[in-house]
């Protein structure tokens, strides 16, 4: 498929319009997503703190106590839940782009094919890690080459993980640079959001005691600050990326009906 030049301004204008016009507000939906993600992060912080405290770092060989195995399972489960919720957020953005009414329950739309979502993310991570270990450029190339794979899986989970990866790689051939430039165009907004949070986190670093309660409080405060700062930019960026995806896939197969 020969690539053609996409209008990044048009894509971003469309994303901003969807922020206002969606039947279920992307800002409120994102707030729900970030609240659930914050709860999962608090659980992960508590588990990681307890596990670290259980390790004897002075021993010749570091061994995890048998009593800590349930905590390790919880830590893995939390990470997997976060992965599936991200896929649910993508399902919501895909539906909004098509003009559908996506209720708050859409956040859990990926749970029926959670196994495929997890396998997809694992394969992507392994491929990108291998690329980065071999040479830094191929790793970043793979990062963008598989950018559409989760969207394909969310729209057609029955087609499977490997088909989603293959379709993404083929469709983004010739478009990876444009997709990178679209993401790069959000850099000023991302810096505007992250810099104040980073400064606040720096000054708050010594305000919490070195305890489980202190770790949870630090994670909660910095997480809430980050969530408040990113509640606008997160759906804006996500909807712009979905808009790019929709244009490329429609160019490959012809316009699709809403």
Residue position matching structure tokens 């956040």: 107
Kind and range of the H or E element at 218?
Answer: helix 212-230
Encode burial over 31-69: b for 16+ CB neighbours within 10 A, e otherwise: bebbebbbebbbbbbbbebebeeeeeeeeeeeeeeeebe
Whole-angstrom distance, CA of residue 246 vs CA of residue 170: 15
Ranking 27-36, 109-118, 131-140, 226-235 by mean pLDDT, the lowest is 131-140
Calculate the average pLDDT of the chain: 86
Residue 61 has pLDDT above 60, yes or no: no
| DSSP assigned state of 207 | G
Kindly report, residue by residue over 195-252, the tens digit of the pLDDT.
888 888 777 777 788 888 888 888 888 888 888 888 999 999 999 999 999 999 988 7
Report the share of the chain in percent with pLDDT over 90.
53
pLDDT digits (tens, 9 = 90+) for 178-199: 999 999 999 999 988 888 888 8
In the chain, domain spans: 8-253
69 pLDDT more than 80: no
| Predicted model pTM | 0.86
pLDDT value at 258 more than 60? no
**Residue in this structure with the two tokens 């309660």, named with its chain if needed:** 213
Q: What is the pLDDT of residues 100-130, one digit of tens each?
A: 999 999 999 999 999 999 999 999 988 888 7
């Amino acid at each position: 498929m020969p690539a053609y030049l996409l209008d990044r301004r048009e894509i971003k204008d469309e994303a901003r319009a969807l922020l206002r016009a969606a039947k279920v507000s992307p800002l409120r939906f994102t707030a729900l997503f970030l609240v659930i993600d914050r709860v999962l992060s608090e659980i992960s912080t508590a588990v990681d703190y307890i596990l670290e405290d259980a390790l004897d770092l002075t021993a010749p060989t570091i061994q995890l106590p048998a009593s800590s195995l349930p905590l390790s399972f919880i830590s893995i489960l939390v990470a997997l839940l976060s992965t599936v919720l991200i896929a649910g957020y993508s399902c919501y953005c895909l539906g909004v782009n098509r003009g559908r009414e996506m209720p708050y329950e859409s956040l859990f739309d990926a749970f029926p094919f959670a196994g495929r979502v997890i396998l997809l993310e694992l394969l992507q991570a392994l491929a990108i890690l291998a690329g980065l270990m071999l040479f830094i450029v191929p790793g970043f190339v793979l990062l963008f080459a598989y950018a559409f794979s989760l969207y394909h899986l969310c729209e057609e989970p029955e087609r499977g993980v490997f088909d989603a990866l293959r379709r993404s790689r083929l469709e983004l051939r010739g478009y990876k640079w444009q997709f990178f430039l679209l993401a790069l165009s959000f850099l000023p907004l991302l810096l505007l959001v992250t810099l104040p949070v980073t400064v606040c986190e720096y000054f708050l670093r010594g305000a919490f005691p070195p305890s489980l309660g202190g770790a949870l409080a630090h994670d909660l405060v910095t997480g809430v600050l980050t969530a408040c700062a990113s509640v606008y930019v997160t759906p804006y960026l996500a909807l712009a990326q979905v808009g790019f995806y929709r244009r490329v896939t429609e160019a490959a197969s012809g316009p699709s009906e809403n």
